[in-house]
Amino acid sequence: MDHRSAIRRLALPGAVLLALGGCTGGVAGKPGAAGLRDGLFPKLGNGGYDADHYSLVLDYDPARAHLTGSMTMDARATQDLSAFNLDFAGMEVTGATVDGRRADANRAGTELTLRPAEDLDEGARFRATVTYSGTPKTLTDQDGSHEGWLRTADGALALGEPTGSMAWFPSNNHPSDKATYDIAVTVPRGLRAVSNGELTSSVTNGGRTTYTWRTREPMASYLATVAIGAYDVTEGRTRSGIPFYDAVAPAARKETADVVGRLPEIVEWEREKFGPYPFSSTGVIVAPEGSAEYALETQNRPVVPADQLDTETLAHELAHQWFGDSVTPERWRDMWLNEGFATYAEWLWSEDHGGDSAQEHFDEEYAKDGSDAIWAFPPAAPPSAARVSDQPVYVRGAMVVHQLRRALGDDAFFALVRGWTKDRAHANASTEEFVRFVDERSSGKDLDDLWDTWLYGDGKPDSP
């Protein structure tokens, strides 16, 4: 899904495209690019099409760690296509079709190439299916984190930032191509499968239960999740009526109850700060202790390993629902737009709840020596994929946000933040677009020094 595609679609209605297709008959399509040339992850994503919807049907046997899957993607060709790629790591591909006809499937590394029986015309909507099975892989990312498919004592947990989703379903695995999802997961009776969006049915048949989840707001592939295992579920509504669905690993229930119980209050507080809640439901998945190395803002329902759960972390992951999940980075280098704001949300939470003020947090960070890791590179310029989740992206990112607040004053700053989340809701944004947005909305203020020093400058700024 691409907010620009709607414009192109309006300009060229189906009938015109059909007519053009007719005129160009005989001109062969070309293969779509194998990557989107993301500066940090050049092979992620694929060219030549734009995904609108994924429907995943998964069946998992925890005892054998065996997954059987089918992925159906509804997409639109953005060029005449003879073939196109999906990102997929491991497993075995057992079949592929495009528009119901068998398609050739070839694999090289994490690239899966589908060659339809007939070329696809630019603008054509098409449906691709891939069936697959095997034991999904745990991937080690360039930043050293383990993700993809993580086994737990009684089930599994799928986490995908930045690349891990390709371990359990083939997709256009880049944040710039968001799509809606249906995810159906069948597991042994007695276990649950928790995912993004809303649970629309759970049906038990012959000792196995199928949980069907529906995500109607566009989602980046790195935010898709499935948590399989015994989970205690609590449902309710926040004060303003947002439905929540919390799933907590039973062994962690007692020690996490207080923090999980504050979720509705945190979401309501964030609505006041950041604007309307962008999704149709919320909640949290408290995964078993030690099951994952990082918490993740999986859409609607962040995943937090029990041993990492505290109020600030929950506020951080929930803030990502606005910054990252609704307003999604255009490229991986724009990640500070996620982590800077989510870290700043922790500072704001502390400020409003009897802890240190944001200014005190800022001062504490600024006091760090010039050789400290937080000054290693400018927030919007991680030097390599290995550094995409390093301190400058988080801490110095939050310092940029704080400088902006100081320059504009509280009223203008919070109005601007709410304007940003509204303007870019369910879309993508780059650092350059953020800077332009801020500059346009704060006319009369010259923010060039702020950007040059805090956002783009190398090393520790000379003055706070």
Residues lying near ligand TRP in the complex (CB under 6 A) are found at 145, 161-162, 294-297, 317, 335, 339, 342, 388-389
Measured distance CA(49)–CA(250) in Å, rounded? 43
**With CB cut-offs between 5 and 8 Å by kind, which of ligand TRP, Zn ion, none does residue 461 bind?**
none
> To the nearest whole angstrom, how small is the minimum distance from the Cβ of residue 338 to ligand TRP?
7
**Which lies closer to ligand TRP via its Cβ, residue 67 or residue 159?**
159
Instruction: Give how far the C-alpha of residue 428 lies from the chain's centroid of Cα atoms, to the nearest Å.
Output: 11
> To the nearest whole angstrom, how small is the minimum distance from the Cβ of residue 47 to Zn ion?
29
**With CB cut-offs between 5 and 8 Å by kind, which of Zn ion, ligand TRP, none does residue 234 bind?**
none
- Smallest Cα–Cα separation from 110: which of 83, 87, 140? 87
**With CB cut-offs between 5 and 8 Å by kind, which of ligand TRP, Zn ion, none does residue 295 bind?**
ligand TRP
Cβ-based neighbour number of residue 434 at 10 Å: 20
Could you tell me which residues are beta bridge partners of residue 50? 76
Residue 346 CB-half CA count within 13 A: 19
**With CB cut-offs between 5 and 8 Å by kind, which of ligand TRP, Zn ion, none does residue 182 bind?**
none
Measured distance CA(29)–CA(42) in Å, rounded? 23
- Rg of the chain over Cα atoms, rounded to whole angstroms, equals 22
**Which lies closer to ligand TRP via its Cβ, residue 143 or residue 154?**
143
Instruction: Give the three-state DSSP class for 129.
Output: strand
According to CB under 5 A, which one of 105, 342, 345, 374 is a site residue for Zn ion? 342
**Which lies closer to ligand TRP via its Cβ, residue 195 or residue 308?**
308
User: Does residue 162 have a cis peptide bond before it, meaning omega lies within 30 degrees of 0?
Assistant: yes
> To the nearest whole angstrom, how small is the minimum distance from the Cβ of residue 342 to ligand TRP?
6
Query: Which tokens hold the place of 183?
Result: 């995810």
**With CB cut-offs between 5 and 8 Å by kind, which of Zn ion, ligand TRP, none does residue 296 bind?**
ligand TRP
**Which lies closer to ligand TRP via its Cβ, residue 76 or residue 301?**
301
Measured distance CA(240)–CA(267) in Å, rounded? 10
| Span near Zn ion by CB under 5 A; candidates 12-20, 86-94, 341-349, 444-452 | 341-349
Place of tokens 């029990």: 306
**Which lies closer to ligand TRP via its Cβ, residue 203 or residue 373?**
373
Pairing relation of β-strands 104-108 and 111-115?
A: antiparallel
**Which lies closer to ligand TRP via its Cβ, residue 128 or residue 398?**
398
> To the nearest whole angstrom, how small is the minimum distance from the Cβ of residue 460 to ligand TRP?
22
**With CB cut-offs between 5 and 8 Å by kind, which of ligand TRP, Zn ion, none does residue 161 bind?**
ligand TRP
Query: Which tokens hold the place of 275?
Result: 């604007």
Query: Which tokens hold the place of 200?
Result: 């629309």
Q: Which residues bind Zn ion (CB under 5 A)?
A: 339, 342
